[in-house]
Structures are given as C-alpha cells and as structure tokens.
Chain A
Amino acid sequence: MFRMTGLVFGLFVLAPTGIVAAVYLTVRLNSRR
C-alpha cells in the first residue's frame, strides 16, 4: 500500500511538476544571449 502510494505520488504529482520546473529552467537558460 505504502509502495503504491509512493509510486502514484511520484508518477502523477512529482513528475508533472518536475516537467514544469524543467521547462522553466530551459526557457531561462535559452533566453540568455
């Protein structure tokens, strides 16, 4: 049960926010001259 909750949390909550953070860092670094 605990393992399943951790997996669901990791996949459906942490991973999408990680994508948003990755896009943010990419935009910031790419926008620099």
Chain B
Amino acid sequence: MSEAGTAMTDDGGDLFGDDSVGDALVAEYLRRLDAAAWSLPADRRVELVAEIADHIAHARATAEVSDEASLRELLDRLGDPADIVAEACADVDAVTVPAGPGPVPRTVRPGIALEVSAVALLTVGSIIPFVGWLVGVVLAWLSRRFTVTEKILLTLVVPFGPFTAVLLAARLASQRCSATFSSDAAGNLVSGPTVCTGFAFPVWLGVPLMVATVVAPFVIGGVVLRRARDRAALEPAIPVAGPPGASGPNRWGALEIAAVLLLSVGGFLLPVVGPFAGLVCAWVSTAWTSTEKWVATAITSAALVIPLTLAVMFAVL
C-alpha cells in the first residue's frame, strides 16, 4: 500500500489508482457468473448478475473495499460463481425443495447418459431395423445439450442408421447379370451378350459409399457427444438431497437407462418380456415419482386393453 492509499504491484507500480485491475477482476468474475448461469431462465439470469454487480459496486463505493486485496477477499466471500448459480437454482425450485438452514446439499455433476443413449441407438442401435434408429432420433431431439443443427445432422447423416441403410442398399441396389450362349455351325459354344437387370453402383463408387455410410454416423456421433459433454461440464452441480417422498434426483443412472431402453427397443428383441423388464426397472428406480410410474405402466398396459377390446367387439358383432 502506498502512502496515498493506493495498492502497489509487486514491481512497485500503481495498481489501484485508476481501478483498471479492480474493474478487470470484477468484469472477469461477472463474466464467469453469467456463463455459469446459462441454464437459469433468462430474466433470472440477468437479475442474478445485476444483483451481484450491484453488491460489488456498493462495496467498492464505500471504504469496505479500498484495494485489490480487499476486493479479492470480497469476491472470495461471494464464492464460486457456480455455487451462486446452484443456490439460485435451489431458490427457483423452492416449491419442491424448501430452503433453510441445514447441511450443504450433496450434489452430482450432470451426466450425458441421454445423449450417449441417443448416439448409441442412432449408430449401433440401427441393427434393429428402423425402430432402433427412430428411438435414437426421439432421444436426440429430447436432449437440451444438442443444438438444433446437431440434431438435424444426427438425423440426416444416414437416414435409418448405418446398418439398416446398408441392409436396404443391399436389397435395392442388387444387380443380376446373365450371359447367353449359342452354338455355331461347327458346334462350338459361342457366348452371346451379357444382359444385366437391376441397379448397382460401380465398385469404385459403391465400396467407398458403403464405408462412408457405416463410418460417418459414428464420427459425427463422437463429435457431437464431445460437444455435449463440454456443455454439461459448464452446467451447475445438481443438488440431490431432498425431503423424503419428493421427486427423486435428476440422474440418469444405469437403472433409468435400462428401463427406457427395455421399454422402447426391448419389445423388439424380447417380445413381451422386454417391456415387462423395463417396467420392473422403472419401478425399482427412485428417479421417477409413483404417479409417473403408474402412467408408464398404464401406457404399456394399453397393449392388453386393445386386443381385449377387439375380442369383445368381435364377440358382440
């Protein structure tokens, strides 16, 4: 500290005289806060950043913050921007999670299981013709971590997925050629013109096209998954503590993924048993409320109602 009351840098320069370093520190802190608050509603995000900016400005206007050290101390007291956002999130959800004094809630990092499931079904899942890919498209469009461009790319890179597309190509682009033979006057066998029916790409085009069809969805899936993972890393940690009976943690665990996969594509691999196992997984999981489990059970059980209704209709008519 100099005699004039301004902070000095290590090499003795005037640090706080024009507040440029202080302004930069505050601007950087508010920038990090704004970036961390991206998942909040837009108005709450602006409000939160303005509140913190006002608080800092007020402290700097008074004698409370007079140099760089005290400013850093103030920012430390405010805490990590991600923690401020997590607290703001808890306030938004105050209806379901009452705030109050108590232990700091346990938090988990947001996972990308939904995005991984979507890409897995869009690539490997296309082994189950049409359905695997279709469920992958639905999951991809449900994701909040893929941009619209990425969703369109995932959907259109290879319609119906790599394996179904190759299967379709093998069926449609089949060519049959047959040669005709005849005998000349001396009795020798003479080959006639070869007649081909159907359509096929020449080898130099067909082989690379097929390789690209199989490889491209995996490459694009990997790229968008990486970007989704980076976006998830910027999201605030999710508090998992809550009162008993409240909605469970927002967490895609192995049980939740198994429930959704078994309910969606399980029926095509293991008729009847697959969806039933999916319902069992859903009921064992704590991620859904009882109401949600009952609704899912009712939807799946509608399959039992349809044939019964048809049978009754036939019996009556």
Asked if B139 and A18 make an inter-chain contact with CB atoms under 8 angstroms apart, the answer reads no
Contacts of A32 in B (CB 8 A): 247, 250
Contacts of B271 in A (CB 8 A): 6-7, 9-11, 14-15
- Which residues of chain B from 122 to 146 have any CB-CB distance to chain A below 8 Å in the complex? 131, 135, 138-139, 142-144
Asked if A15 and B275 make an inter-chain contact with CB atoms under 8 angstroms apart, the answer reads yes
- Which residues of chain A from 1 to 33 have any CB-CB distance to chain B below 8 Å in the complex? 6-7, 9-11, 13-30, 32-33
Interface residues on B, range: 35 or more
Please report the C-alpha to C-alpha distance between residue A33 and residue B67 in the assembled complex, in whole angstroms: 39
Contact of B296 among A9, A14, A16, A21 (CB under 8 A): A21
Asked if B114 and A6 make an inter-chain contact with CB atoms under 8 angstroms apart, the answer reads no
Asked if B267 and A18 make an inter-chain contact with CB atoms under 8 angstroms apart, the answer reads yes
Contact of A33 among B143, B250, B279, B287 (CB under 8 A): B250
Binary per-residue interface labels of chain B (264-294) against chain A in the complex, 1 for a CB within 8 Å, 0 otherwise? 1011100110110011001000011000100
The A contact surface, by secondary structure, is: helix
Please report the C-alpha to C-alpha distance between residue A30 and residue B247 in the assembled complex, in whole angstroms: 13
Interface pairs A-B: 5 shortest CB-CB: A10-B271, A15-B267, A18-B275, A22-B263, A22-B264
Contacts of A13 in B (CB 8 A): 303, 306-307
Contact of A25 among B89, B238, B260, B272 (CB under 8 A): B260
Asked if A15 and B260 make an inter-chain contact with CB atoms under 8 angstroms apart, the answer reads no
Given A11-B267, A30-B144, A33-B93: A18 and B278 interface contact (C-beta under 8 Å): yes
Asked if A6 and B272 make an inter-chain contact with CB atoms under 8 angstroms apart, the answer reads yes
Interface membership of B207, Cβ < 8 A: no
Asked if A14 and B275 make an inter-chain contact with CB atoms under 8 angstroms apart, the answer reads yes
Contacts of B139 in A (CB 8 A): 26
| Closest residue on chain B to residue A27 by CB atoms | B142
Contacts of B282 in A (CB 8 A): 25
Please report the C-alpha to C-alpha distance between residue A22 and residue B260 in the assembled complex, in whole angstroms: 5
Asked if A25 and B300 make an inter-chain contact with CB atoms under 8 angstroms apart, the answer reads no
Please report the C-alpha to C-alpha distance between residue A22 and residue B266 in the assembled complex, in whole angstroms: 11
| Closest residue on chain B to residue A14 by CB atoms | B303
Asked if A29 and B267 make an inter-chain contact with CB atoms under 8 angstroms apart, the answer reads no
Please report the C-alpha to C-alpha distance between residue A24 and residue B296 in the assembled complex, in whole angstroms: 7
Asked if B263 and A25 make an inter-chain contact with CB atoms under 8 angstroms apart, the answer reads yes
What 6 additional pairs, Cβ within 8 angstroms, besides A22-B261, A25-B282, A33-B238? A14-B272, A15-B275, A18-B267, A19-B135, A23-B264, A26-B138
